[in-house]
Amino acid sequence: MANTVVIGMQWGDEGKGKIVDLICPSFGAVVRYQGGHNAGHTVKFEDRHFALHLVPSGILHAGMRCVLGNGMVISPPAFFEELDGLAAAGVEVGDRLVVSDRAHVLLPHYAELDRRREESLGDDRIGTTSRGIGPAYELKAARCGLRMADLLASDLPTRLERLAAELGHRGAGDRDEWLAGLPAVRGWAERLAPFVDDTTGLLAAWRREGMAILFEGAQGTLLDLDHGSYPYVTSSSSTAGGAAVGSGVPPTHLDGVLGVLKAYTTRVGEGPFPTELHDEAGSYLRQRGNEFGTTTGRPRRCGWLDLVAARYACEVNGVDTIALTKLDVLDGFDEIKLCVAYRVDGEEIRRFPADAAKLARAKPVLESVPGWTDETAGVLAHDALPAAARDYVARIQAETGAPVSLISTGPRREETIVRDEPRFAELTGGFAG
């Protein structure tokens, strides 16, 4: 019985949704611990196709519990839309979905604040998802945010008055306009009430019963507020450490980390990206990998695999084992490039720099490795991969020091190679596919 954290090792969109969906039958519950409806993943199963933003993909598995932890910022309309979508698809949610009473409420007005901030930044904009994520976390850190517990409190109007006053001080909204929105907020509270609970206590009780819990990170390491390519990051802790803070499960109860690494790199939004490709290879990756945002539909920027970033992600998250995704997207290249270091201001560096301006000046030190012409798409055994693809995997292991235990060769659950790797077996209760 292990409590395992799944995180993205790049700038998000590594394919965590598929991996969580695949291994979650080995767990009793899946917990989201940060972010909000800026995240998004697509899950394909049989003839069904789901895009989820707030609710973990575990909800598609009968009996699986899903928790939206205290570290999240939750938009009630987005939450209801997702519930309605699940109901329309015949997914029985019942009492399997629980929202932390400590989670913050993301009010629709925050999206407008997000957009205005971006406009004022001009060329320096972050390229956010415009969902209001930044403002929600700002209010949380300023200790005047609205939490689920506030939404259910009998003096909600007073609490909203306080928030409206605070926003007024910031020149971010008209008090009367805010308060006019109250009836809608009351309606949300009524619909949310059955889902809201003390999830810290619930998770502790489940652990006492011996339940294994899976923690699903959203976004990726390089978008983490502290460890990412600041300021071009999201406003939450998307690294493994965030799992403890954002769920109320102590770090001593987390057993290990599965890092999800895409076989190449993508990024949405602005900010430095040393291995970005502006040529045909980049377009090939975008088209073949269907690299368009699940949440915003934006085309993703594409580039070669960045091993500087991957090593950094292993260090910051304590990655025990790697799930390598979208290997099949590299099918058809004569040669593939790997970034092993950066060259900045005439100096070669092997570590991910803190300064975004320095990262923007970094030129990738690229090594060419042979590509493969045989398809890896849909291959189900490691031995059946072309030799060059196996070498590519081996190189990633050697560079990161973490074994690659899963290899995804297509979007479907079934299109996955599960390797016999002891640490992975420990962290997934012996999951074998």
Annotated active-site positions, please? 13, 41
Smallest gap, in angstroms, from Cβ of residue 218 to ligand IMP? 6
- Which amino acid type is present at position 179? L
| Among the listed residues 397, 401, 386, 433, the one whose alpha carbon sits nearest the alpha carbon of residue 414 | 433
CA 150/CA 157 separation, integer angstroms: 10
DSSP structural state of residue 87: H
- Three-state secondary structure call for residue 317: helix
Q: Measuring CA to CA, how many Å separate 246 from each of 199, 225, 339?
A: 11, 14, 33
Answer for the pair 337, 367: CB distance below 8 angstroms, yes or no. Answer: yes
Smallest gap, in angstroms, from Cβ of residue 312 to ligand IMP? 17
- Three-state secondary structure call for residue 4: strand
Q: Which is nearer to ligand IMP, 207 or 267 (CB)?
A: 267
Residue of closest CB approach to ligand IMP: 269
Answer for the pair 280, 255: CB distance below 8 angstroms, yes or no. Answer: no
306: which 2 tokens?
A: 């960045």
Answer for the pair 356, 231: CB distance below 8 angstroms, yes or no. Answer: yes
267: which 2 tokens?
A: 């990024």
Count CB-CB contacts under 10 A for residue 208.
8
Overall residue count recorded for the chain in this entry: 433
CA 222/CA 234 separation, integer angstroms: 9
65 burial type by CB count under 10 A (0-12 exposed, 13-18 middle, 19+ buried): buried
Q: How many CA atoms lie within 13 A of 174 on its CB side?
A: 4
284: which 2 tokens?
A: 């090939």
172-193: burial string, b at 16+ Cβ within 10 Å, e else: bbeeeebeeeeeebeebbeebe
Contacts of 411 (CB under 8 A, 6+ apart): 18, 42, 44
Binding site for ligand IMP (CB under 6 A): 11-13, 38-40, 126-129, 131, 133-134, 218-219, 223, 232, 234-235, 268-269
- Which amino acid type is present at position 166? E
CA 87/CA 81 separation, integer angstroms: 10
- Angle, vertex CA 235, rays to CA 233 and CA 236, nearest 5: 110
164: which 2 tokens?
A: 């409206």
